Structures are given as structure tokens and as C-alpha cells.
Chains A and B, each alone.
Chain A
């Protein structure tokens, strides 16, 4: 049987994505299944990420699988200097699937090449976090009833935000129109613009987070502007409160608009937005469990 891993959203075809979304939909209707009975799933978190780990472990538990693993590399042999390869080889003897988060970019790709077990990337440094992308896309699909022909506005840190880059890649199969709203220092890198130009994807860039931009959007994807990304702290002070969404700004937005955020948020979405029916970020996190159930079954060839 062919070994499948789930390392980067760029590896997924349009059909793969649609297949996974249909599976996630199925798991939302039937979350508790015995599909992983007798299977051991390793969650190797070389860098702590409580939210992602709990989401994956919930997915495994709901499917009746068993979980082994660690939540911090400080308690493992890698702190004694063991290579990633050796750790992965060792765990491959115990588990049926490896779910890993690592602080180095490319770690999951490398891991998938040194083991015969399927590897699921739960985040590799600033590079990829494909299960987040799938849950974002599932959330878009659920709230809009489709993935095709949507206007998606991304706000905040578009330079370093890996969720932004991956969502852009994943949505590129579905004829989107993108609006990018970011300060000059955190603009979308050129390589993504070249990618969109090559694939005939429409996009606009703004530095102003204006009602006009909001009012034409179907999806508003907010991200956090992080202080540590700025070389010039004066610049940070200038922009930190500019890309903040409050309830008033949604007055004339489209009926079908939904607000997404990969979480955690700091101040980029005011608390008065939380009660607006267009706020979707908490349900979005819940969709993560279904998306991850779909991914785990997919790599294990469980249909």
C-alpha cells in the first residue's frame, strides 16, 4: 500500500482538498467512530503548541485510537543531542502514524523521508501548517456553501504569517479574488504575487483597512501583527492599532461575510465583534477537530 504523508498544502491537488473537506463534513455529523481502534498515534511536539496538540489528540480519541507522545522537546532525547532522524526512527517502531510539530522549517518533509510511517505536519517553523489550512478551508466551505469565486480579504501580518501563505496556496484552485491589507513592513512577499500572476488569480493590495474593503468581502481573515517581527519598534507602535476590527466597521458588510482568525488573537479583533453572528473564529477552531480526523484517516488509508 502506498504511504501517504500530509506535509504541505502545496502537495494537495484540488481533488485531494475536496475529498478531505467532504470527509471533515462526514466527521462533523458522526464525530465518534471506531475507525482507529487498535492504532497508536504519536504526537511529537518538539515545540509546545497546546491548541494544535489538543485538537489532534481529540481527533484521535474520538476515533478510538490511542495517543503516545510528548509536548515539549526539553523532556526528550533531542535535548541530549539526538538527531531528528533517530527520534523518528525510534517512534516509527511504536506508532502507526506520526503527528509532529517542529521549530525547524522542513522538519516534517525530512521526517516523512526517513520513515515508512505516514507523517502529518502539525507545523514546521514558519513554513507550513497544512491542517490549519484545511480547517480554514473547511470553515470557508461551511459558511459560504462553496469554495469557488469568493472574495477573501486577509489582514495583518502578510509577510511572515504562514497561515496566510498556505491559505492562499490552498484557495488558488478555486478562482478566488484576494484583498491584502497590511502595513508596508508586513506586505505579502513578491514570490506569492508571482505565484498568483502565474495562475491568473486576481488580487489587490491596500495599506488602509477601510470599510470599502470589508464591504466587498465574503471572508475576512484576520491575523496578529506581532511586535517581534518589526526591526523598527516605532513602526510597530504606529501600526499596532491600525489593523483592528471593531463591530461598527461591519455595519454595511455583506450578509454572508464571516470573520476568521487562526487564533490566538490579541487586540486585532475587538471584543464587541464576538457577539456578532458574522464572527466565526471560535467555531473555526472547533472545525479543526473534524479536519484533523479527516487528515488522519486519509494518511492511514481508512475510508
Chain B
């Protein structure tokens, strides 16, 4: 008789678990955090059942601890994720993400006449309303509402 193979996801010894990612944003989160460039073991969960969210995504990243401004980059697309910091198989810290005051090289300015779309420079937005997520381009001063945000 053929033995059934079971996918085994090991518990993390050390690393970070990013939970409650909106399912459709999982791969964007992967790319924003440049997880594809890591040399460690990564488990990407997608379309998992969640009581709260319906469907959710989860990332388990071994031996990686994110800096504050590094992880806050994902707050635009996944504002309610929860981070579990694991050391020696134990959750030693739980964290939330926060919208930073400034977003560098992350969002495209929707103004085609903005200098940031025409010269080789990083886009730069100030967040002028954290609750409503309204951004203001540092260069052309045009404001972008949450629903109009386009990631680079």
C-alpha cells in the first residue's frame, strides 16, 4: 500500500510569523519584504480559512527578524497583520504594523506630470492623514487617497 505523503510544516525555531495577511495581498507582501531574496526557509500560506477574515495568508520566515521601518512598508496593503517573533520555539513578542510618516520608493505618484515619474528618482510621499490613509507627494504636492494608491 502506498504511503500517504503529508506536507509537514515545521514549527519555527527562530524567526517571524506574519499572520492575518489579506489573502490577495500575500504575494505583494512577499515582494515588498523581498522575501524571495532570502536564503532561509520560508513557508507561504495562501487561501487559508480564517474565522475573522474568511480567507487569509500567512508567512513563516526562519531566522529573520525585521527592522521596524522594514516591516512598516507592508502597512499600506496589510494594515491589520500580526507579527509573532519566535525564539527557541516560543513566541517572545507580538507586534502590529504602523503606517510610517514617510513612504520612500513604494508608491507611484498618479500625476503624470510629476518629476518623480520623469527623472530617475525614488518616489517620496508624506502621510498627511493616517486614519484615512491620505498621501501627499513630496515633489508635486498632489494628494492621493487610499483607493487611488498604486504600488510601484
B144 vs chain A, min Cβ distance (A): 11
Task: Known pairs A84-B115, A125-B113; list 4 more (Cβ under 8 Å).
Answer: A8-B141, A85-B119, A127-B142, A191-B143
Decide yes or no: A83 and B113 within 8 Å by CB, A106-B139, A110-B139 being known contacts: no
Tell which of B113, B120, B121, B143 touches A105, judged by Cβ atoms closer than 8 Å. B113
CB<8 Å pairs between A and B, sample of 15: A83-B119, A83-B120, A104-B115, A104-B118, A105-B115, A106-B116, A106-B141, A107-B139, A109-B115, A110-B119, A124-B140, A125-B113, A127-B142, A128-B141, A191-B143
A8 to B141 CA separation, bound complex (whole angstroms): 9
Chain A contact-residue range equals: 10 to 19
**A105 close to B142 (CB less than 8 A):** yes
Q: Which 5 A-B pairs have the closest CB atoms?
A: A106-B139, A105-B140, A106-B140, A106-B115, A104-B115
Query: Is B74 an interface residue when CB atoms closer than 8 A count as contact?
Result: no
B 107-120 binary contact with A (CB < 8 Å = 1; else 0): 00001011110111
**B140 close to A127 (CB less than 8 A):** yes
Query: Is B64 an interface residue when CB atoms closer than 8 A count as contact?
Result: no
Q: Which chain B residues (90-139) contact chain A, with CB distance < 8 Å?
A: 111, 113-116, 118-121, 137-139
Decide yes or no: A126 and B113 within 8 Å by CB, A83-B120, A84-B119 being known contacts: yes
B128 vs chain A, min Cβ distance (A): 10
Give the residues in chain B near A127, CB-CB below 8 Å.
140-142
A106 to B142 CA separation, bound complex (whole angstroms): 10
Q: How many A-B residue pairs have CB under 8 A?
A: 50
Which residue, of A104, A109, A125, has the highest number of chain B Cβ atoms within 10 A?
A: A104
Tell which of B118, B120, B139, B142 touches A109, judged by Cβ atoms closer than 8 Å. B139
**B143 close to A104 (CB less than 8 A):** no
A303 vs chain B, min Cβ distance (A): 30
A124 to B140 CA separation, bound complex (whole angstroms): 8
Query: Is A230 an interface residue when CB atoms closer than 8 A count as contact?
Result: no
A128 to B114 CA separation, bound complex (whole angstroms): 12
B30 vs chain A, min Cβ distance (A): 31
Give the residues in chain B near A8, CB-CB below 8 Å.
141
A 105-131 binary contact with B (CB < 8 Å = 1; else 0): 111011000000000000011111000
A107 to B111 CA separation, bound complex (whole angstroms): 13
**A110 close to B113 (CB less than 8 A):** no
Which residue, of A10, A85, A102, A105, has the highest number of chain B Cβ atoms within 10 A?
A: A105
A145 to B120 CA separation, bound complex (whole angstroms): 47
A157 vs chain B, min Cβ distance (A): 17
Query: Is A271 an interface residue when CB atoms closer than 8 A count as contact?
Result: no
B152 vs chain A, min Cβ distance (A): 16
Tell which of B114, B137, B138, B142 touches A104, judged by Cβ atoms closer than 8 Å. B114
Give the residues in chain B near A84, CB-CB below 8 Å.
115, 119
Tell which of A83, A103, A105, A191 touches B139, judged by Cβ atoms closer than 8 Å. A105
B122 vs chain A, min Cβ distance (A): 11
A84 to B141 CA separation, bound complex (whole angstroms): 19
**B119 close to A105 (CB less than 8 A):** no
A110 to B116 CA separation, bound complex (whole angstroms): 8
**A110 close to B115 (CB less than 8 A):** yes
A270 to B75 CA separation, bound complex (whole angstroms): 55
**A106 close to B137 (CB less than 8 A):** yes
A74 vs chain B, min Cβ distance (A): 17
A79 to B119 CA separation, bound complex (whole angstroms): 14
A37 vs chain B, min Cβ distance (A): 34
